[in-house]
A and B are shown apart, each in its own frame.
Chain A
Amino acid sequence: MSDNVADISNMIIEKLLANPKVPRDINGDSKIVEDLAFDSLAVMNFVMEIEDELDVSVPLDKLADIRTINDLTLCLHSLKAEQS
């Protein structure tokens, strides 16, 4: 897949929707903890799945600032850019 912001965002939403417990009406502005009811462990485990898709590692301190799917997208995009 390409590393542009839209593609990363789509990939994240697709992965989230694979989980039947996640609400069907999510978008980039959805809050990962409040709207998706993820606890801290679930967030870390989900990010681990995304890391494999993009071949990138997200340090835990970066997760502290992530609230929405868009925040996660931008974080991953920036880490990919640093890597290349």
Chain B
Amino acid sequence: MNNIFAKHEALQKAYKNLITLSPRDPFHVVIERPLSATVGIIEGRETLLFGTNNYLGLSQSQKAAQAAIETAQTMGVGTTGSRIANGTFGLHQTLEKKLAAFFRRKHCMIFSTGYQANLGTISALVNKDDVLLLDADSHASIYDGAKLSGAQVIRFRHNDPADLEKRLARLKNHTGAKLIIAEGIYSMTGNIAPLKEFVDIKKRHGAYLMADEAHSFGVLGEHGRGVAELQNCEDDIDFIVGTFSKSLGTVGGYCISDNDGINLMRLASRPYMFTASLPPEIIAATLAALEDLEAHPELRVKLQKNAAQLHAGLQDIGLNTGSHISPVIAVTLDNIAQALTFWNALLESGLYVNLSLPPATPDERPLLRCSVMAAHSPQEIDKAISIFKSVYNMFK
């Protein structure tokens, strides 16, 4: 019998090589217990958390936790079915209405994860007769959704409106639909998309535009609606996709639109139809977190201030960060061995950040990806900068 895992031999070899360079497995870090949004126990020690995507700190919201407990006690812990069968509770519809109202749009469709929101939306919107134009640095869920759709997929250069326009011009005789997909904030680098410029281009070329605001929802824009709100082009984004697992601190995803075709998507989207719906306690916690997000705009102000503090601090040390100031701040290093040593030293010094390795990084170089929170105190950010500085000095 052939070894069914033989196809992964190269992966196994790469993984083994990686582990030999590192005193710990970077893919199996365990947060034994969060003590708060910003501090957790890792390897038995109190560790500063700077790699959680918990931008507003709401994963630790007492209001959301209480809502989840009460809902689990009164409604049970799961729906045991998909949205089109027995898996639609009143709470699901309440959340869809609240989110649609939050975005000032007609429709919202919720999915069981953010990954499925991209998979389910993209695969329902386009098929083999259509063309998808994806930013080259798109998240894996967008590439996977594209594959599931069967549409022709064309990549354009990251955050490059001129490159997008050039590729759309080549499609002038194409008769199918054209859908452009960009992210608000890019998850690895923290880069912010020029959505307003993409809007101008999509109008000129008769294309649709979908924005994935997973990392910008609750974070950017006066009301937290994301990059489209920040750049004042919300009304021209045809579909907004995002997740609850970042700024709302729970799990799940959504697609927002004014297009009435959303009602058809509920009958055409396989990742929506063929999976269990979100359990009621998660919906209740998400609703409570959304209320928190709306009631506390000062969290976004604090988040921006914290992002600026961390970004400036890392740049002052001389580390190579991107130019965008967003809650995702990535330090680019030269090679994997250096990145592993750096990341291990940070963790041993009590600072957890994400280690991102190629090919999951945009330019084949490793990243130490930091995500800052509104919940971080200025002292915690200073401490993180100081740990980065002491480790960086070891390399000089």
Q: Contact residues of A with B, CB < 8 Å? A: 39-42, 44-45, 48, 55-61, 83
Most B-side CB within 10 Å, residue of A41, A45, A57, A59: A57
Question: Which of the residues A39, A48, A61 comes within 8 Å of B155, measured between beta carbons?
Answer: A48
Question: A60 CA to B359 CA in the complex, in Å?
Answer: 17
Contacts of A48 in B (CB 8 A): 136, 155, 157
Tell me the bound Cα distance from A83 to B155 in angstroms.
Answer: 18
Contacts A48-B157, A60-B155 given; indicate if A83 touches B364 (C-beta within 8 A): no
* Residues of chain B within 8 A of A41, CB atoms compared: 358-359, 364
Contacts of A83 in B (CB 8 A): 170
Chain B nearest Cβ from A50, distance in angstroms: 13
Are A42 and B170 in touch, CB under 8 angstroms? no
- Choose from A39, A42, A55, A59 the contact partner of B154 (Cβ within 8 Å): A59
Given contacts A44-B155, A58-B154, 16 further A-B pairs with CB under 8 A are A39-B359, A40-B359, A41-B358, A41-B359, A41-B364, A42-B364, A44-B136, A45-B136, A48-B157, A55-B170, A56-B170, A59-B153, A59-B154, A60-B153, A60-B154, A61-B153
B136 smallest CB distance to A (angstroms): 7
Q: Residue B195 at the A interface, CB < 8 A? A: no
A61 in contact with B152 (CB, 8 Å): yes
A48 to B136, CA, bound (A): 10
Quick check: B170 and A57 within 8 Å, CB to CB? Answer: yes
Please give, as numbers and ranges, the residues of chain B lying within 8 Å of A57 by CB-CB distance.
154, 167, 170-171
* Total B residues in contact with A, Cβ cutoff 8 Å: 14
The total number of A-B Cβ pairs within 8 Å is 33
Expressed in whole angstroms, the Cα–Cα distance for A39 and B359 within the complex equals: 7
Complex formed: what's the CA distance from A56 to B359 in Å?
A: 25
> In chain B, what residue has the closest Cβ to A40?
B359
Q: What are 24 A-B contacts defined by CB distance under 8 Å? A: A39-B358, A41-B359, A42-B359, A42-B364, A44-B136, A44-B155, A45-B136, A48-B136, A48-B155, A55-B170, A57-B154, A57-B167, A57-B170, A57-B171, A58-B154, A59-B152, A59-B153, A60-B146, A60-B152, A60-B154, A60-B155, A61-B152, A61-B153, A83-B170
Residues of A contacting B131 in the complex (Cβ-Cβ under 8 angstroms):
59
For residue A84, give the distance in angstroms from its CB to the closest CB of chain B.
Answer: 12
| B54 CB, min distance to chain A CBs, angstroms | 28
What's the Cα separation between A48 and B170 when bound, in Å?
14
When distances are taken between beta carbons in the complex, the residues of chain A under 8 Å from B358 are: 39, 41
Most B CB within 10 A of own CB, among A40, A55, A56, A60: A60
Question: In the bound complex, how far is the Cα of B359 from the Cα of A59, in angstroms?
Answer: 20
- Cα A55 to Cα B163 in complex, Å, equals 11
Minimum CB–CB distance from B234 to chain A (whole Å) comes to: 29
Task: Give chain A residues whose Cβ lies under 8 Å from the Cβ of B171.
Answer: 57
Q: Which of B358-381 contact A (CB under 8 A)?
A: 358-359, 364
Chain A nearest Cβ from B133, distance in angstroms: 9
* B136 neighbours in A (Cβ, 8 Å): 44-45, 48
B15 to chain A, nearest CB (A): 14
**In the complex the two chains form, what is the Cα distance from A83 to B169 in whole Å?**
12
- A42 partner residues in chain B, CB cutoff 8 A: 359, 364
Q: With both chains docked as a complex, state the minimum distance between the C-beta of A65 and any C-beta of chain B, in angstroms.
A: 14
Beta-carbon nearest neighbor of A64 in chain B = B147
Q: How far is the CB of B123 from chain A (nearest CB, A)?
A: 14
* Min C-beta distance of B231 to chain A, whole Å: 26
Task: Name the CB-closest residue of A to B173.
Answer: A83
Report Cα–Cα, A71/B209, bound state, in Å.
Answer: 33
* Contact bitstring B107-138, A, C-beta under 8 A = 1, else 0: 00000000000000000000000010000100
| Closest chain A residue, CB of each to CB of B167 | A57
Name the distance in Å between B198's Cβ and chain A's nearest Cβ.
17
Q: Please give the distance in Å from A82's CB to the nearest CB on chain B.
A: 10
Q: Which of A44, A55, A61 has the most CB of B within 10 A?
A: A61
A40→B143 CA distance, assembly (Å): 12
Contacts of A39 in B (CB 8 A): 358-359
Nearest residue, chain B, Cβ from A57: B154
Looking at A45, A56, A83, the one whose CB has the most chain B CB atoms below 10 A away is A45
Q: Which residue of A lies closest to B170 (CB)?
A: A57
Tell me the nearest residue of chain B to A44, going by C-beta. Answer: B155
Closest residue on chain A to residue B363 by CB atoms: A45
Task: List the 9 closest pairs (A to B, CB-CB), nearest first.
Answer: A59-B152, A60-B153, A41-B359, A57-B154, A39-B359, A57-B167, A57-B170, A59-B153, A59-B154
CB distance from A51 to the nearest CB of B (A): 8
